[in-house]
Amino acid sequence: MSTDQTLNFTFAKLDLDLAYLMKCFQEMLAELGEKDLARSLPWASAPENQAPMEMLCSEAGLQALSLSFQLLNMVEENSAAQTRRRVEHERGLAAEPGLWGDRLNQMRLDGCSEEEIADLLPRIWVEPVLTAHPTEAKRSSLLEQHRQLYLLLLKRENNIWTPAEQEQIRGQIILALERIWRTGEIMLQKPDLAHERRAILYFLHDVFPEVVPRLDWRLRQAWKEAGFDPRRLAGAGRMPLVSFGTWVGGDRDGHGLVTAAVTNETLLALRRAALGLHDRHLQAVAQRLSLSSARQAPPAELAAAIDELTGQLGEIGAQAVTRNPFEPWRQFLNLVRAKLPNLDDCRIEAPYHYRHPRALLEHLRLLYESLVAVGAARLAEEEVLPVWRAVEVFGFHLAVLDVRQNSAYHDRAIAQLLVAAGLDGADYADWPEEKRRELLEQELKSPRPLAHGSAELGPEAREILATYRLLASHGEEYGYDGIGALIVSMTRSVSDLLGVYLLAREAGLARPTPAGLVCRLPVVPLFETVADLEQAPAILREFLAHPITGRSVTESGGRRRQQVMLGYSDSAKAAGVLSGQWALHQAQRTLAQMAAEAGFELRFFHGRGGTISRGAGPTHRFLQSLPHGSLSGAFRATEQGETISQKYANLGTASYNLELLVAGVAAMKLRHQRPVSRNVKLAPIMHLLATRSQKVYEDLLDRPDFMAYFSQATPIDAIEQARIGSRPARRTGRRTLEDLRAIPWVFAWNQSRHYLPGWYGVGTALTELLAEVPARFADLAAGFENWPFLQYVFTNTETSLMSADLRIVERYAELVADDAVRATYLTLIGDEYRRTREVLGRLFGGDFAVRRPRLLGTLVRRERALTMLHQMQIMLLRQWRERSAAGDQTGAEALLPRVLLSVNAIASGLRTTG
């Protein structure tokens, strides 16, 4: 299919499936007595059939609109998946951009040999890290019901069904819609950490173990289609390494509910789920490998292993062997299952229990080779390799748990330790860097703790030491594989990192060795603001040169590797999208070069959010945009809030998104290994644009009445009431812009259709460049061809801009009490919007509608229903605020559920929160 044919197919299928689902929804509502509401559904009714605003603004009306958008999102997801299948069917695996077929072709065009690619694959490591940042507006019970509805939609794709069977599927869809309708939209209370942990465990335990074998299969298929030798990928250890991480239960930055006890519960829950996963896989394989010794004699190595394990396991071993006489492969798997640690409490209670997954992998290797030895290579590949792969990917910990805390919190803890030790350090946080370094260097040379074990400590010191002691004891009992890094938010100096070594020593997590102090877990800086990103190379250079860092990273991995986390949210929040992206790009390039010179391999951890102004964007485009030489082959990135369910809730979509990530990292790693000319000519232009756009953006935020406009022209006050995450919207509770987290900041601008953090300031910077130095503007436009970073940043800016809607912005601005404030900001925002739209058109050399028909179609399809929803939200906000201002708390509380429903509905319509 041509591009136009593909687009036509996608839109045609989307419209047909949407009409079908909306008809089912109408029928369900009518059966429940909501006939007027049924006649008013978008994409199923003419505008003249719309029910009165009062009805639509009821809880039922808002829920109906929200669910309608969720059905549209589901249909779009399925249409995209079916389009990909059709394209691959007609044109092969290489036809879909960013996936393995396309990437293998690209590697070959880049001059890579088959051998070079095959050697590279096992050295690729990708780790998505699931977080519970509060941006998932749907309840977890609804997420599961939506998954079931999606499976029914997928079931309809099969052409074998008779008319009667199709009608049965339709009845199941209506039933699923009724369950969703009766469940309700909004969370009645804020989810707690146990709830968030269960939600994350679903993806880690039930989704990803099914996705990983599919990823491997698609790579092998693309490999064969590319004409490469399949034998190069046969057996274990030939695939890219995929693993998973999580912050749920470990991230305590501004989240006082995450205690040492919560972290302990999380580590054990992850371990329990991993062991249960492997037990399930081993049991299933044992049921299928019923090979009889009468048909094929087991190899001597397998027979010897059965005898050895039977002796080790005693009575349990004897039972395992007796259960399946004459079936040695089953006997062996039963013995292997018996060696798994206790599934209930995760403990290693018997000497024969596996202490580490390496021993289990060795037994799976023996099983694999024994099947190959008797000519059952297909069984070895299809039955044993997936289990082997699951153990390799998930270990005995399922996902790595990072522990993150803010540097200011660490400062308070150190101050409390100094006071408890009788030293003058209550004001440690205010000390100059030189004085802090002097104290830390002196203390880190000593093995003795600062404070006696029975000393009275302040709350921060108490909590950190309890957490670190828990990490140390868990690591000693189960190993450190399941514990990630000690991540320091708002890293602004070397002392912020060395202070963690001091705290770790205090808790026994850093221990003396003959060579000196060694920390058992890596300490990872998180650079977030533009200013911190600019200082990052100097900070990291000193940190890497520190002897404790050198000893710790070498001991933990055998190679000198250092992880650095980059925050995409706060850099853009404070300085605007262009300045934030440029600062991140520059920092990665400089950090990677500096680390290489110091003899370290740098692994970047990208803290990307779910929206463009928080670092989101198409995965394969993002990878292409990374600075040359910054991708080591190891890649970590956060997956936050609603993006987790959008990308991974359904098997096909999850496989697609992970394949984009893994294949993209592999292709870019090979490209980064080759020399390339830097865009020296364009870098000064980008620096100029970033500086100017930041000034324009900061001028807006620094205006004395800006917070008044933001507070009244967006639903930020409602968002802070939303029950969509256990984490508070503000770091310390102060009602300031600095204290407000980036998520609710972006969420509020998106809800009111400003989308301001994703584009404001860019238009002025580009317009001035065009007027003052048109030749440089022309160079910038030409640079799209050979600098992917340019195209990525400005395309994302345009996406944010086109998602904004000035008509709706003006309606939200009517909520601003002061006429002068309203007029001022409408003028500033409106002028910059028009300026940015016009100059981006010139930069790209064509109108948005012509260049990006897919995005245009998505926006147009949503426009009428979203406009109606925005009108309802504005009306509800006005009423809710008036009741609150009048002291009518009862009336305000009664109205709040509808306000929150409007937030959910618009989030569903925009497919984004924060």
Q: Which residues are catalytic?
A: 133, 573
Strands 516-519 vs 510-513: parallel, antiparallel or unpaired: antiparallel
Reference 553, options 602, 592, 593, 615; nearest CA is 602
Q: Angle CA(531)–CA(532)–CA(535) in degrees, nearest 5?
A: 90
Please answer whether residues 528 and 581 qualify as being in contact, where contact means their C-beta atoms are separated by less than 8 angstroms: no
**Using CA atoms, how far apart are residues 691 and 757, in angstroms rounded to an integer?**
16
Q: What's the first-to-final CA gap in the chain, in angstroms?
A: 36
User: Which of 723, 722, 648 lies closest to 146, judged by CA?
Assistant: 648
Structure tokens at 908: 């569903």
What is the C-alpha to C-alpha distance for residues 131 and 258, in angstroms, rounded to an integer? 13
Q: In degrees rounded to 5, what are phi and psi of residue 426?
A: -60, -30
Q: Which two tokens stand for residue 608?
A: 């990307």
Tokens encoding 686: 């980008």
For residue 568, report the phi and psi dihedrals to the nearest 5 degrees.
-90, -15
At CA 776, angle to CA 775 and CA 779, rounded to 5? 90
Report the alpha-carbon distance of residue 553 to residue 519 in Å, rounded: 8
Task: Give the residues across from 517 on adjacent strands.
Answer: 512
Q: How many residues are recorded in the chain?
A: 914
751-765 b/e with 16+ CB inside 10 Å = b?
A: bbbbbbbbbbbbbbb
Tell me the three state secondary structure of residue 481. Answer: coil
Tokens of 864: 């009428």
- CA–CA gap between residue 876 and residue 891 (Å, rounded): 12
> Which of these, 371, 387, 235, lies nearest to 290 by C-alpha position?
371
Q: What letter would DSSP give residue 526?
A: E
- Give the Cα separation of 565 and 637 in Å (integer): 9
Would you say the C-alpha torsion 407, 409, 411, 417 has a positive or negative sign?
negative
What would the two tokens of residue 141 be? 């019970």
| Dist. CA 140–CA 106, nearest whole Å | 40
| Phi, psi for residue 641 in degrees, rounded to 5 | 50, -130
Structure tokens at 635: 């890649």
The answer to whether residues 527 and 590 touch, using CB atoms and an 8 Å cutoff, is no
**Helix, strand or coil for residue 246?**
strand
Rounded Cα–Cα distance for residues 493 and 231 (Å): 50
How many CB atoms within 10 Å of residue 804? 22
3 state SS of 628: coil
Q: Are 520 and 511 in contact (CB under 8 A)?
A: yes
**What are the two backbone dihedrals, phi and then psi, of residue 481, each rounded to the nearest 5 degrees?**
-60, -35
How many helices (DSSP H) and strands (DSSP E) are in the chain?
40, 11
How many other C-beta atoms lie within 10 A of the C-beta of residue 308?
A: 12
CB 726 within 8 A of CB 893: no
Instruction: Give backbone dihedrals phi and psi of 825, rounded to 5 degrees, phi first.
Output: -75, -35
**Upper half-sphere CA count for residue 335 (Cβ side, 13 Å):** 29
Q: Compute the Cα dihedral for 856, 860, 861, 863 and give only its sign.
A: positive
